[in-house]
Amino acid sequence: MTRSDVLITADELLSRLTSTPPPRLLDVRWTLTKPDGRDDFAAGHIPGAIYVDLDTELADHDSTDATAGRHPLPSPEAFENTVRTWGIDTDTEVVVYDDNSSLGAARAWWLLRWAGLNARVLDGGLAAYREAGGELETGDSRAVEPSSVEISPGSLPVIDADDAAAWNGVLLDARAGERFRGETEPLDPQAGHIPGAKNAPATANVPAGAFLPEALLRERFADLGALDGPVGVYCGSGVTACHNALALASLGIEASLYPASWSGWSADPDRPVETGA
């Protein structure tokens, strides 16, 4: 993959919206403190967009296994049904965006790519679209004709806790530094990180809302040793880790996602914990 395979600029999106058919737009308004962004979507979104609920459509909360983490991946069957409700076929051009530095949008991008479908993230999100002169519409999602698409799950690599423990490469933790170091842990059973992991906060990919230029992204991940061998990514619950996977994909690097991430690892008392830098 290249940068243009995974990211789309606001100017390009505005041009593509005049095509027939236009891209399918997925709006993933989500933050840790406000996971339901339905009211923000209704207050203003890109015309034609569909609201995506990350907690219910991009995760499976029926699991009772704490080691599966706070945002387990949906089953292939459930995600296929969800994709069908979005009216997406194998040849549909899909653009996902949010208003939070693409942190939620990256999860939708990863799942669609994992399902063998085409998707790109709007670089800079809703703010970039508005700065480029794009107009918003209000109200609920527009109704779309469901598809009968059949997904190809497993098109991106996934690892489990045993794989992460024995990882023969670089393992990147996308959480903020204070959580990685174990200075604070507001959400999960233990503070710290997986032994041997390196801290690569996802927010550093987008210090001003849009992704760093390619040369600076490459420099960032080269400094972490993530360009020379196998790379795995995790975070608190498998959401913002997808942001690092997206950034690496823009450089032509395929990362393996540990979906359960720290929330799953730290829920297992038999897993070792490391603290500090």
The residues that are catalytic are: 235
Give DSSP secondary structure letters for 82-116: HHHHTT--TT--EEEE-SSTTHHHHHHHHHHHHTT
Q: Pull the structure tokens for residue 245.
A: 């996977």
Q: Report yes or no: 16 and 259 within 8 Å, Cβ to Cβ.
A: no
Q: Report yes or no: 273 and 266 within 8 Å, Cβ to Cβ.
A: yes
| Cα angle 253-127-207, degrees, rounded to a multiple of 5 | 50
Separation of alpha carbons 94 and 76, rounded Å: 19
Backbone angles phi, psi at 93, to 5 degrees: -80, 120
**Radius of gyration over every alpha carbon of the chain, rounded to an integer in angstroms:** 18
- At residue 142, the 3 state secondary structure works out as coil
Determine the distance from the C-alpha atom of residue 224 to the mean position of all C-alpha atoms in its chain, rounded to a whole number: 20
Give DSSP secondary structure letters for 220-237: HHHHTTTTSS-EEEE-SS
- If we measure between CA atoms, which residue out of 48, 54, 164, 43 comes closest to residue 110? 54
Helices (H), 116-183: 125-131, 161-165, 177-180
